[in-house]
Structure 1
Amino acid sequence: MKSWTVIPAMGVLSAAAVIAVTRDPFAIGAAGLAGAALAGAVRALSGDAPASLVAAALVPLLVLASFAEHQLVALTPCLSIAAIAWTVIELSRATKSPLVAMLPAAIAAVLDPAAVALFMIAGARLVTAPWNRPRWAIAMPIAGGLAVMLAVIAGGASDGSLGALGLRWFGPAHVIDAPALASNLGSSLGPLTAVAAIAGLALIAKLRLAEVAIATCAVGALLVDLRAGHTGAATLGIAGLAAALAIGRFAQTIRMPPLQAVAGATVAMMLLLPSAWTVISR
């Protein structure tokens, strides 16, 4: 079986899985896109080893189970995570057309301010990639930087047109402090997923654009959560992606490929069961 088949397979499985919690066809379709994109992102960053494929199969289920647990299985959260993961895929691959990454980056930035820096990173790819770039390419990272500044200002504004933009883009503000945010993260993710996510973020601390994109989204998600007063979809999605990458890297330390798959699947079930059980028990 070709390793790439895990991507459409997880897209179909993800769409089928969320039927248990929603009948909205747009949400179901977006969940399928999110599942496929998340699986593709893990495969793009971890390779084709058995452990990596187990991690690619885990990440959509883990993220969507977290979404279902927090009642976030809807069009916008699922589509924003799909766009973030799609951007990571495009940034991780060698391509002669880096313009492709701009589309999902723009979608992610519009849907979730936590991902607004993706447009700047994808714009930087336009300038640095080895291709026959047009003259206007330099404007893209500049526009991305301006978008980040706009998000910071709008997120902090309380009135006027910028305040209205912040309310529309970020949602209502219920600012909390860092200890409260840490407590929210611990209860939302669970201790195992939280530890795995931290390990995953540490493992991808590299100066490659795909890894930088994940790190900036993680920081953006935490800042958005500080303003919102609760754990948002971007945080759950990035945490699930980072946790899956950590599981894949951990299982790859085992030399025998069959045991890699067994170890990865075992750890994956430990992370997935708490959220899945919460959803099932409702």
Structure 2
Amino acid sequence: MQHSSSRPSSSVRRAAPRRAAILLAFAIGGGALIAAAVAAAAGGVDAAAEPAPARSWPASVSALPVPQVRSAAASRPICDLPTMREASAADDDGGMVLAAGGGAALRAAVVSARADCIDLSDPTRIWVVVDAARPVPSDWTPSDLVVPETPSIADARLRAEAAESIDQLHQVLLAADVGDIALASGYTDQPSAADPGAAEHRTGLAVDVVACGSASCAPAAEIATTSQGAWLIQNAWQYGWIATASGRDAHLRYVGIEIARALHDGGYSSLQQFFALPVR
């Protein structure tokens, strides 16, 4: 009787190394080793002799493209803003300036005709432009005139907001130890035919001040040569005033802090210049 041999056939012996190579490649997990193992199992090719396929890299970039951005000025009328409408309905001049984005933004809107609700001839508003050619209507009188606490040699009266501001300015000036001032004139109901500064007094937003000496506050010296005059020219804008010093007194016109700051920062000397109005 012939017994079958327990030894594996030669074909089985040849297949064993191939399966082992494939399993080893999967265990390592390298794609290149798998391919090499399969090739070796199929034809006994030396996998190490096969060069790895070259990677395809993107072409180098010498410079990134620069995006083209075009700026455009805002064209929306500021009077359409909800905050502007609310402030206007409340007769809140300062709130309207803030709603416009500040004094400089208000100016830009007025100059570019995007501010129909800003009437530069309305005497009730702090931005009203008044001079000999743009007088306050003869039948108009401020409804909120008060006497400031700042010393006065002429019983000067101002609109309430301006009076509060001049009192604050006076207290800061005293604290700066540069001397004292007194009000020489405030609101008047008398029109002026020639002097732009005098014409502004009909608004109740303008005041003339004199420097006080050691004995009295009578105007005796050119205020521009005094420490008080120099202080006013340098600092009055921080309290909402445009200050000009000439002769024996300084003329101060109240426009609110935001507009005064924009005038100061922009180097403007008057509301006419600020709003690009022709000088008449």
Mark yes or no: TM-score above 0.5: no
- Alignment TM class, shorter chain as reference: under 0.3
Using structure 2 for the length normalisation, give the TM-score: 0.26
- Greater percentage in strand: 2
Structure scoring higher RCO (CA < 8 A, sep ≥ 6) equals 1
- Greater percentage in helix: 1
Using structure 1 for the length normalisation, give the TM-score: 0.26
